[in-house]
Amino acid sequence: MEQVMTQKNQKMHPHKFTLWVAMGSITMMFAGFTSAYIVKSNMAGWVPVQMPSIFYLSTFLILASSGTIYLAKKKFQERAMAQYRVLVTVTAALGILFTITQYLGFAELWGQKVTFSESVAGSFFYIISGVHALHVLGGVIALLVIFLRAFSSKTRYYSTTPIEVASIYWHFVDVLWLYLFVFFILVS
């Protein structure tokens, strides 16, 4: 009986397994995107995109949100629900602020005539960053769901799986943004 319980406890939750498979696929997609960027950057007339300065702020915001979601998950596991609610609120706010600063950075680039028709490098930058933005949007939606659940008087379900899945995914988009941020700085 003890061996059966040990085996049951070692199984990965299906949501976590699916998330890990999806993150592996997403990683491969971005590896392909950045590889294509490097290959195309050797074309004649290639003008690299200069990283908007507001992206430094957005990088700080997503790093901070990664720290707050880590602490939120820890507080949820400790059943310190008041602190969990504060931390999940701060995380959701930082995620939204990250999204806003990304938009402002794209608007700055667009104002500098870094558009799809004017710049091949800009096209690549928009596609790569835009696909990342879609993944961030999914993460922000997950953050808003756990935020709403944290304040719902109907929710009395203390499974850690939703916060763990949201936390893993948010850390993933954080690391992915860091990779892209450093990549574009080094390649430019």
Percent share of the chain, pLDDT over 70: 93
Q: How far apart are the first and last CA of the chain?
A: 60
- Rounded Cα distance between 89 and 171, Å, is 16
> Which residues 6+ apart lie within 8 Å of 174 measured at CB?
62, 63, 65, 66
The model's pLDDT over 58-96, given as tens digits with 9 standing for 90+, comes to 999 999 999 999 999 999 999 898 999 999 999 999 999
Which pLDDT score, from 0 to 100, does residue 3 have?
Answer: 53
Predicted confidence band of residue 188 (pLDDT cuts 50, 70, 90): confident
The model's pLDDT over 16-28, given as tens digits with 9 standing for 90+, comes to 999 999 999 999 9
Query: Going from the N-terminus, what domains does the chain have, and what CATH number goes with each?
Result: 50-187 (1.20.120.80)
Average pLDDT estimate for 95-111: 93
Average pLDDT for the chain: 89
Which pLDDT score, from 0 to 100, does residue 44 have?
Answer: 82
Closest CA to 102 of 136, 74, 68, 144: 136
Q: What is the CA 129 to chain-centroid distance, rounded?
A: 11
Is residue 153 over pLDDT 90? no
- Rounded Cα distance between 108 and 103, Å, is 9
Which pLDDT score, from 0 to 100, does residue 121 have?
Answer: 87
Go through the chain and tell me how many residues it has.
188
Which residue has better confidence, 184 or 158? 184
